[in-house]
A and B are shown apart, each in its own frame.
Chain A
Amino acid sequence: MNQVQWVRRVLKPAVFVAAAVPFGLLVKDIFGGTLGANPVEEITHRTGFWTLTMLTITLGVTPIRKVLRLNALIRLRRMLGVYAFFYAFLHFTMYALDRAVFSGLGLTVGAIVEDVAERPFVTVGFTAFVLLVPLAITSTKGWVKRLGGKRWQRLHRLVYVAAIGGVFHFLWLVKADIRRPVIFGAILTVLLGYRVGVWWVGKGRRQRAGHVVAAGASS
Chain B
Amino acid sequence: MRVPVLIRRPPEILSSEITDEGLFLNRRKFVQAAAAVGAAGVAGSLLRPKGVRAAEPGQDEDKLTPYEDVTSYNNFYEFGTGKGDPVKNAHTLRPRPWTIRVEGEVGKPTTFDIDDIWSRFPPEERVYRLRCVEAWSMVIPWFGFPLADLLTAVEPTSAARFVEFKTLHDTEQMPGQRRGVLPWPYIEGLRMDEAMHPLTILSLGVYGKVLPNQNGAPIRLVVPWKYGFKSIKSIVSIELTREQPRNTWMVQAPNEYGFYANVNPEVDHPRWSQKRERRLGELFKRATLPFNGYADQVASLYAGMDLTRHY
- Interface residues of chain A, those whose CB is within 8 Å of chain B, are 30-31, 33, 35-41, 102-106, 119-121, 172-173, 175-177, 179
Chain B residue, CB-CB nearest to A43: B46
Beyond A38-B73, A102-B283, is A31–B47 a contact (Cβ under 8 Å)? Answer: yes
- In the assembled complex, which residues on chain B have CB atoms less than 8 Å from the CB atom of A121? 271
18 pairs, A vs B, C-beta closer than 8 Å: A33-B46, A36-B69, A36-B73, A38-B136, A40-B46, A40-B283, A41-B278, A104-B56, A104-B284, A104-B285, A105-B55, A106-B55, A119-B271, A175-B81, A175-B253, A176-B182, A177-B179, A177-B181
In the complex, whether B38 has a CB less than 8 A from a CB of chain A is no
Query: Are B53 and A41 interface neighbours, CB within 8 A?
Result: no
Interface Cβ pair total, 8 Å cutoff: 71
Please measure, in the bound complex, the distance between the C-alpha atom of A106 and the C-alpha atom of B55, giving whole angstroms: 6
B77 within 8 A of A: yes
Of the candidates A38, A119, A172, A179, the one whose C-beta lies within 8 Å of that of B278 is: A38
B81: nearest chain-A partner, CB-CB: A177
For B46, B68, B72, B252, the residue with the greatest tally of chain A CB atoms inside 10 Å of its CB is B46
Q: How far is the CA of A13 from the CA of B77 in the complex (A)?
A: 41
Q: Are B136 and A41 in contact (CB under 8 A)?
A: yes
> A37 touches which one: B47, B81, B280 (CB < 8 A)?
B280
Given the contacts A102-B285, A176-B252, A36 and B84 also touching, CB distance less than 8 Å = yes
Which of A38, A103, A106, A179 has most chain B Cβ within 10 Å?
A38
Given contacts A35-B46, A36-B72, A176-B182, whether A104 and B57 have CB atoms under 8 Å apart is yes
B108 within 8 A of A: no
CB of A103 to closest CB in B, whole Å: 6
- Known: A33-B45, A38-B278. Contact between A172 and B55, CB under 8 A? no
Chain B residues closer than 8 Å to A102, beta-carbon distance: 278, 283-285
Given contacts A35-B46, A39-B46, A121-B271, are A104 and B55 in contact (CB under 8 A)? Answer: yes
Q: A103-B276, A104-B56, A104-B286 are in contact. Are A176 and B46 (CB under 8 A)?
A: no
Q: Which residues of B contact A39 (CB under 8 A)?
A: 45-46
Q: Flag if A37 contacts B285 (CB, 8 Å).
A: no
Binary interface encoding of chain B residues 161-178 relative to chain A, with 1 for a CB under 8 A from any of its CBs, else 0 = 000000000000000000
Residue of B nearest to A35 (CB): B46
Q: How far is the CB of B52 from chain A (nearest CB, A)?
A: 11
Residues of chain A contacted by B272 (CB below 8 angstroms):
119
Query: By DSSP majority rule, is chain B's interface helix, strand, loop, or mixed?
Result: loop
Tell me the complex Cα distance, A37–B43, Å: 10
Contacts of B287 in A (CB 8 A): 104
Chain B residues positioned under 8 Å from A106 (CB to CB): 55
Q: What residue of chain A has the Cβ atom nearest to residue B134's Cβ?
A: A175
Any chain A CB within 8 A of the CB of B281? yes
| B9 beta carbon closer than 8 Å to chain A | no
Bound together, the chains give a CA A119 to CA B136 distance in angstroms of: 19
B120 contacts A by Cβ under 8 Å = no
CB closest chain-A residue, reference B56: A104
A176 to B53, CA, bound (A): 35
User: How many Å from the CB of B188 to the closest CB on chain A?
Assistant: 16
- Extra inter-chain contacts (18) besides given A104-B53, A104-B57, CB under 8 Å: A30-B46, A30-B47, A31-B47, A33-B45, A35-B46, A37-B68, A37-B69, A37-B72, A37-B73, A37-B83, A37-B281, A41-B136, A102-B278, A105-B55, A120-B271, A175-B81, A177-B179, A179-B179
Q: How far is the CA of A36 from the CA of B72 in the complex (A)?
A: 8
Whether the Cβ atoms of A176 and B181 lie closer than 8 Å is: yes
Q: Which residue of B lies closest to A41 (CB)?
A: B136
In the assembled complex, the Cα of A40 lies from the Cα of B182 at a distance in Å of 27
Residues of A within 8 A of B65 (CB): 37
CB within 8 Å of A: which B13-70 residues: 45-47, 53, 55-57, 65, 68-69
* Interchain CA distance A40-B281 in the complex, whole Å: 10
Chain A residues lying within 8 Å of B47, measured Cβ to Cβ, are: 30-31, 33
In the complex formed, the residue of A with least CB distance to B75 is A175
Closest Cβ of chain A: how far from B227's Cβ, in Å? 12
| A120: chain B residues within 8 A (beta carbon) | 271
Q: How far is the CB of B272 from chain A (nearest CB, A)?
A: 7
Q: Which residues of A contact B56 (CB under 8 A)?
A: 104
A179 to B57, CA, bound (A): 38
Q: What are the 5 A-B residue pairs with the smallest beta carbon separation, nearest first?
A: A37-B73, A177-B81, A37-B69, A39-B46, A33-B45
Rounded to whole angstroms, the CA-CA distance of A175 and B81 in the bound complex is 9
Question: A179–B284 Cα gap in the complex (Å)?
Answer: 31
User: What residues of chain A lie closer than 8 Å to B83, measured between beta carbons?
Assistant: 36-38
In the complex, how many angstroms separate the beta carbon of A126 from the nearest chain B beta carbon? 14
Q: Known contacts A33-B47, A38-B83; is A172 also within 8 Å of B73 by CB?
A: no
In the complex, the chain B residue whose C-beta lies closest to that of A103 is B285
Task: Tell me, rounded to whole Å, the shortest Cβ–Cβ distance linking B49 to chain A.
Answer: 9
